[in-house]
DNA sequence: ACTTGTCCTGTCATGCCGTCAGCTTACCGA
DNA sequence: TCGGTAAGCTGACGGCATGACAGGACAAGT
């Protein structure tokens, strides 16, 4: 399905080529987590990977292209986030557990991939469709599942029918993503990591069911 | 209080100098809203302002320095956002109005300054303290007021005392900022602009008071 | 007109970008 | 074993942004 990995000039990459390519990606990922996106230079990535800039351009059109590749990899893993919401009951205690698991899964995923997610967020916010698509891919599955959950609660009359389930779910997911992105920020603010999770779960539960979780 | 505007090499800027400086800032702001941050070059800004790159470097150490300046300007305006929350009653109908006004004010502020706010967000997420400080300055006033509101509700027993008011307020504000940043994203997703506001107000009201707003 | 201090620009060294031709290496069939 | 072929890599180059400087243009006061 993925076809073959190809160089910019159309050749198919063999074992060695794929290895160099991967090494470049790894080094890029590392650089992104240690220096600002704007300052990541092709030459630095190449040097770090023990190769020349020209080699970089054989596999990627530019830095952005390589970042997109990294992001795609991550998005595949992110698809698993659906499992955090799908087929979960939002009633009673299990509802509380559902929101807690969702929050926990989200935060740890973000912590793991924070460097690339920052760049993806920026690209998406700047209107780049390719980045936006990737962001969707990650958030969409969660959002859709959450949307269904909200609809169910609407059917039970717990949430006003005038409210758009997609808007609620989307806002909640955006909240999770934003808080996750600024996790470090919160703590230098006096809010401890440990205080964050319960509050988020509480908010998510409220948003989905319209009710506070049981103690 | 701000003292005098100074050039990089320490001279004080006169009338003409300040005008050029401001023109450069304006042009930079414009560029930021039309092209990706990573691609904004000093030479383009200078050309757009009808001057030379050397002039740019007389007033700013680099592009980032100029962006910081723009951000500071914006932050001053953002301080007014406090008025949206301070001294508001969260009881009954007026509580519903409070959350609506907050959401509306927030979204429009973000819409107005989206280009710079994107960069500030990125800088803050990347851990740059200067950007983080600015982000705080804007969000802090709102967050603090919201925190107080949450505390009041806690005193009335409507919100679990175990929850950290700062974490709740911070999360809500993060949600507003995130949704505002991706306003355009939502609509290409099938969620209309008009659906967003009521859902957000509903969530904010729920988060602050623990109760649904009256119809 | 002269002086003073502000303001702008021409120019230059440096370093990164992105591309190409050409060299080396690995694989494969005869 | 031995070419042949395609993959893989790099040195080198023109082009452009960066950032520094010194000197010229300009306005304002005397």
Q: For every one of its 215 residues, what pLDDT tens digit does chain B have, with 9 covering 90 and above?
A: 445 677 777 677 667 778 888 899 999 999 999 888 888 999 989 988 888 888 898 889 889 999 999 999 999 999 888 888 888 999 989 999 999 999 999 999 999 999 999 999 888 888 888 898 899 889 988 999 999 999 999 999 999 999 999 999 999 999 999 999 988 778 767 788 889 999 999 999 999 999 999 97
- A210 to chain B, any CB pair closer than 8 A? The answer is yes
Q: Which domain holds residue B31?
A: 1-61
Nucleotide closest in space to B5 (CA vs C1'): C6
pLDDT digits 0-9 by tens, A114-125: 999 999 988 888
Q: Does one domain contain both A85 and A184?
A: yes
Three-state secondary structure string covering B77-140: HHHHHHHHCCCCCCCHHHHHHHHHHHHHHHHHHHHHCHHHHHHHHHHHHCCCHHHHHHHHHHHH
Judging contacts by C-beta atoms under 8 Å, the chain A residues touching residue B184 are 127
The answer to whether the CB of A63 falls within 8 A of the CB of A126 is: no
Interface of A with B in 24-53 (CB under 8 A): 36-38
Q: Does one domain contain both B90 and B196?
A: yes
Name the residue among B36, B168, B185 with its Cβ closest to that of A132.
B185
DSSP result, A103-138 = HHHHHHHHHHTHHHHHHHHHHHHTT-HHHHHHHHHH
8-state DSSP, A50: T
The answer to whether the CB of A69 falls within 8 A of the CB of A25 is: yes
* CATH number (domain holding residue B18): 1.10.10.60
Contact A177 B179 (CB under 8 A): no
In a domain, A133, yes or no: yes
In a domain, A29, yes or no: yes
Q: Does one domain contain both A56 and A79?
A: no
Q: Does one domain contain both A8 and A46?
A: yes
Q: Does one domain contain both B84 and B54?
A: no
- A161 to chain B, any CB pair closer than 8 A? The answer is no
Q: Does one domain contain both B53 and B79?
A: no
Q: Does one domain contain both A57 and A76?
A: no
Distance A60 CA to D1 C1' (A): 39
Residue A143 confidence (pLDDT) above 50: yes
Boundary of a domain, candidates B42, B61, B80: B61
In a domain, A79, yes or no: yes
pLDDT of residue A1: 43
Domain count for chain B, please give it. Answer: 2
pLDDT digits 0-9 by tens, A185-205: 787 677 888 899 999 999 999
pLDDT of residue A171: 96
Contact B125 A199 (CB under 8 A): no
In a domain, B67, yes or no: no
In a domain, B66, yes or no: no
CB atoms inside a 10 Å sphere around CB B82: 15
Q: Does one domain contain both B57 and B84?
A: no
Q: Give backbone dihedrals phi and psi of B62, rounded to 5 degrees, phi first.
A: -170, -175
Q: Does one domain contain both B24 and B43?
A: yes
pLDDT of residue A44: 94
Residue A61 confidence (pLDDT) above 60: yes
In a domain, A24, yes or no: yes
Mean pLDDT for chain A overall: 91
Q: Does one domain contain both B108 and B148?
A: yes
Three-state secondary structure string covering A8-26: CCCCECCHHHHHHHHHHHH
């Amino acid at each position: 399905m993925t076809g073959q990995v190809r160089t910019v000039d159309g050749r198919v990459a063999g074992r060695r080529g794929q290895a160099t390519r991967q090494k470049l990606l790894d080094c890029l990922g590392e650089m992104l987590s240690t220096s600002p996106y704007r300052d990541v230079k092709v030459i630095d990535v190449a040097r770090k990977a023990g190769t020349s800039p020209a080699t970089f351009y054989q596999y990627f059109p530019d830095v952005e292209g390589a970042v997109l590749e990294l992001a795609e990899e991550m998005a595949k893993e992110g698809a698993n986030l659906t499992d955090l919401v799908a087929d979960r009951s939002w009633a009673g205690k299990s509802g509380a557990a559902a929101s807690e698991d969702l929050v926990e899964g989200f935060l740890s995923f973000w912590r793991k991939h924070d460097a690339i997610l920052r760049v993806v967020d920026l690209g998406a916010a700047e209107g780049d469709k390719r980045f936006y698509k990737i962001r969707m891919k990650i958030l969409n599955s969660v959002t859709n599942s959450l949307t269904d959950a909200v609809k169910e609660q609407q059917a039970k009359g717990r949430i006003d029918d005038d409210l758009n389930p997609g808007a609620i779910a989307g806002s909640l997911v955006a909240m999770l993503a934003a808080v996750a992105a600024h996790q470090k920020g919160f703590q230098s603010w006096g809010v401890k990591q440990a205080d964050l999770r319960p509050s988020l779960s509480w908010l998510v539960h409220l948003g989905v069911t319209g009710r506070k979780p049981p103690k």
